[in-house]
Homo-oligomer: A and B are copies of this chain.
Amino acid sequence: MTKAKPTIVEVAADAGVSLGTASRALSGHPAVRDDTRKRVQASARRMGYVPNRMARSLRSGSSMLIGVIVPDIAHGFYGRATKAMQDVLEDAGYQILVMNTERQPERERAALQSLLAHDVAGILMASSGGVSEAPSVPTVFFDSLEPGLGYANVAQANKEGIDVLVGHLADFHDYRRIAYLGAPPALTSGIERLEGYRDAMGRRALPVPPELIVLSDGTWSPESGTSAMRDLLELAEPPEAVVAASDTLALGAIQAARDHGLRVPDDLAIVSFDDPFFGAFIEPQLTALMRDERELGRIAARQLLDALRHGAQRPSVEIRLPVELTIRRSCGCNSPGSTRIAAQA
């Protein structure tokens, strides 16, 4: 509302040079006399000149913009991952454009179009299933993988994580009737965690009758966890322990157990894949896999930077982050502190 933004033409006029010279002076081009550069810089500063990035992008063919597509930026996991990406990318001179899809494939496609329209140099995306071919700019997929597509695919070690969870419940606590409370096997985490559960149970020769697997509605919300958990509690023979595929689902499950008059972990043990931000404050304190979404974000961003710099047409690589178990109370352990068991992918 204050003053209108001056263009480089006005700065040049003020400094008494042509706009070409002004541009060179400001951009650090070597072929500019020192006093000329000083004069231009002084004018620019005094006039509050800010180069128009759209014009620059248009002309130079490089927008220095990176698109980030996530299901929900307000969700801690994506929020923190996005911020970590932004840190890495800004250090390299890029700005990010974040798009929310609300887990809707159509919105994801629209977001992609929109980013491309903004001429982004690259894309970082946690897909919700809206992409069928690699975008026209370098892309790194994270969280939800598109094997073979993109420069890199980075995610947590889902199967190994579930194995650590089932292992702690079965091998350490000797539970046998262990249920799985998950999300529909639509995206990577839903698919791999469910598979991981079957594998982990099979490896230990534990039976998996179909009723021990309940799936929420795909929103990964506490509410959906509560309702799926109810099915488990109404079983003729309820489980002794439950592996929840996420922190939100676990919270919903605890709520359902509580509503049913069950004490956790005395009557029922519950462990979860993701560690909620306030995991230590939850009652009972949750035994869960720590997650390092910041590291995930950093790795994904660095991969994209790599693609942007070297533009190498290498085959898509897959990177997995190790998981780490934080043992608290909800599994039935008494240790007040938290022991860590790392699972490498």
Contact = CB atoms under 8 A, between A and B. Distances in A.
B73 A83 contact: yes
Nearest to A3: B136
B95 A136 contact: no
Interface residues of A, number: 52
A137 interface: yes
A2 B134 contact: yes
A97 B95 CA distance: 9
Contacts of A283: 281-283
Contact of A136 (B4, B72, B79, B119): B4
Copies per assembly? 2
Interface in A62-106: 63, 72-76, 79-80, 82-83, 86, 95-98, 100
A161 interface: no
A2 B86 CA distance: 26
Contacts of A3: 136
Contact of A282 (B54, B72, B79, B278): B278
A136 B2 contact: yes
Interface stretch (A45-53, A163-171, A175-183, A233-241): A45-53
Given A1-B139, A254-B281, A117 B74 contact: no
Contacts of A118: 53-54, 95
Contact of A135 (B2, B97, B114): B2
A138 to B, nearest CB: 7
Contacts of A73: 73, 79, 82-83, 86, 98
A227 interface: no
26 contacts: A1-B136, A1-B139, A1-B313, A2-B133, A2-B134, A2-B135, A5-B116, A50-B116, A50-B117, A52-B58, A53-B117, A54-B58, A58-B58, A72-B83, A73-B73, A73-B86, A74-B76, A74-B79, A76-B76, A86-B100, A95-B97, A98-B98, A251-B278, A251-B281, A278-B281, A281-B282
Interface of A: 1-5, 50-55, 57-58, 63, 72-76, 79-80, 82-83, 86, 95-98, 100, 113-114, 116-119, 133-139, 251, 254-255, 276, 278, 280-283, 313
